[in-house]
Structure 1
């Protein structure tokens, strides 16, 4: 408006208007010269440059009309300018108020999503900390599983030092092999679960970083919009930015902006649920594996106890048989001595009978007779010989029985030694070593 008022309007030449209304001065002069020729040459220089009274009046009226028109036009312009100023001022205030209101609405939206992001960041941080605790439990449980494995493998190695027929694949060995296989399966399961926990922790941290970046952007945007909402016409730190109305490239829309944050929150909720489910799975895995290991440990302990009882019973029975064999050996030795004496006792009767027969063989002539005495003496020698042979045979049987019992004694003593060694391995070494088996609390990672 001020620019329109300051523009100079074209200057109105009244003389040009008067000249358009009047005939040319040269003609008028010629006419006047014709009419007033009697004035003489002395007045010619004064009359040629002057207007007539009609021209003067017309010039004044023209100036008056021009002034009136200019005043009317100026008045109209002032009225229109006044209305325009008021309208633009009100429009500016309305536009500024609407912009402030929309900035406030935007601040509420940003604050809402920023609060949601902060809540999920805190929830994800807490969930990650809980999952880290479960990860430490898995690591402790995995390390604790090394103790049962060392105990089981040591038991198997110790039992390889059993001697003789005691080196048998009994129920204890079957349970120990089953325990070793179970421990290795548990370790593999704990390792896979630990890898899942590590991957989930990494995923939680990645999502948390995404949420924090989004939260940081929203916090910065909130600060900027809050500052923009405080600007008004009285602010002293405002200035012209002529290119600020241009939209930047790759800007987001309200829908894409909302979708971006909602997708981040959805991803966070999904990872939170996955982390929660994984923690529950870890609890179940640790509980199940600990119970399985303790159950198998109890089975091995029962097998050891039963084997030790059987071994001790066998040892006791072997000792009883050994005592009985030793008694029989003593009795047989006495029997052999008695048989040897009996054989020696037959020497005198044999000598006497053979001497009688020998002396009677020198009877003269007809006196060399096979009489009853002769038959008796011959029968006596035969009976003594049969007795000696029977005694010698029985003596040999006794000696063979003694040798057999000596072998049995040695066998029994070896078996007792084997049983003593096996009992020492199973009861004193293996069973004692198994007392250091981890408790179920330690096996669950606490």
Structure 2
């Protein structure tokens, strides 16, 4: 390397031995204070040490421990040189100040590392309240965030309370509807149970007309043979028994339907009561939640509750379920109400049919009784006439017999006369004279008359026998009719007087 050329390995900004280009010297002087000749630099020359010029600080300058406008960022040039008896050191404070080989010279008293300007800057840095400002800013921000957070929480809480109030209002509305439906289905179940009791009572009451009809039929079998006829009364009684059987069949079918409907009503009542109970529990819980505040004594930590439970449903499904529950219960109640109408129709119509048939049967019995009474009256009149005729015929027979006895006397007289004349007259005197012809004619007339009277007696006896037989027939018929009247008028009418009315059927 030539002696006149600078060493490229030497630092052109720090080492004073190396030659510094003119351009770099200008940049260096612009970066720091201009160098002045240090009077304290060695070698020492007596009389050259003069007091330093006073530092002039502009008005309004900050305190001396804070950075001044006259401070340099490149360091101060000390009065002593870098080497000498004092060796105070000389350092240019540049961005390379921390590099090895550019440290200040250390003597036995101190080490100079920082400039006064850097010391003041350090003071300013230390005195600058960064943490305090951060604390104040953090405090203000935290207070603002807390206010915002509490306002947000308060708004959320108010919104939640409003939603809870709306939910409570909805629950109260649905709960009122469900409670009304519970009362309606309960009343309907009780009413249907009363109607069921009526129907059972009607079935029990139906046994009476059936027993009455069967007893009347059985009683009429005790009539005597001439009156064992299938008259209108008998036909109406048979119809009455058939109608009673049909009414019982309808009653039993309706009762079976009522039993099924009672099960439906109870199931619907249980379902709607469960719904009402759930709504009451939910309403109680929501009211309790609405009344809770952060100062409440019942609040606790419950980790993991901020999630949807497994059995949670949607609001649309909840509304659908509530409406469907009410609709199903209303349908069951309507079915029960319609069945009650059918039940009462069956009871009322059945009772009316029974009444109509009973009236027809009673009318037929009344006609039969009237006809039997009329027949009995005619039979009694005929019996009276028969008895009178029998008496008359008997008197006639007695008269005929008396007449025959008289004729017998006349016959004996004529026969005696003829015998005397035929066998007592002598000889020629026994002739056929007119007297003889008259006696013969008389005897013939008497015999003919006696024969005729005997025929008349026989005829009268025959008539008397016929009258006696007819009397027996009349008496038998009268007894038969009396028996029929006793059965129809006395027994059947008394039994049928207990025939239940439609009102009794309806009342159960």
Q: TM-score, normalised by structure 1?
A: 0.81
Q: Deviations over 1:140-198 (max 9, x none)?
A: 22222222222222222111111131222222222222222222222222233333333
- 2:468 pairs with 1:406: yes
Deviates more, 1:401-410 or 1:307-316: 307-316
2:31 aligns with none
Any stretches of 5+ residues in structure 1 without a counterpart? 1-17, 37-42
Q: Is the 8 A contact 1:131 1:201 kept in 2?
A: yes
Cα gap change, 1:390/1:222 in structure 2, threshold over 3 Å: closer, same or farther?
same
2:209 aligns with 148
- 2:507 pairs with 1:445: yes
Cα gap change, 1:21/1:174 in structure 2, threshold over 3 Å: closer, same or farther?
farther
- The Cα RMSD (Å) is 3.3
Where do residues 8-407 of structure 1 align in structure 2 (5 Å cutoff)?
22-24=98-100, 52-54=112-114, 71=131, 80-358=141-419, 372-407=434-469
Q: Quick check: which one's helix share is greater?
A: 1
Q: Is the 8 A contact 1:138 1:190 kept in 2?
A: yes
Deviates more, 1:127-136 or 1:366-375: 366-375
Report the Cα distance in structure 1 between the residues aligned to 2:297 and 2:480, rounded to whole angstroms. Answer: 105
Pairwise CA distance, 1:360: 5.3
Q: Is the 8 A contact 1:349 1:384 kept in 2?
A: yes
Pairwise CA distance, 1:70: 5.7
Could you say what secondary structure the match of 1:444 adopts?
helix
Q: Is the 8 A contact 1:286 1:445 kept in 2?
A: no
Report the Cα distance in structure 1 between the residues aligned to 2:97 and 2:479, rounded to whole angstroms. Answer: 160
Q: Deviations over 1:55-95 (max 9, x none)?
A: 99979967976996964766665555444333333322222
The one of the two structures with greater contact order (alpha-carbon pairs below 8 A, sep at least 6) is: 1
Q: Deviations over 1:245-298 (max 9, x none)?
A: 122213211111111111111112222222333333333333322222223222
Report the Cα distance in structure 1 between the residues aligned to 2:310 and 2:255, rounded to whole angstroms. Answer: 46
Report the Cα distance in structure 2 between the residues aligned to 1:51 and 1:361, rounded to whole angstroms. Answer: 231
2:29 aligns with none
Pairwise CA distance, 1:330: 1.1
Aligned residues: 413
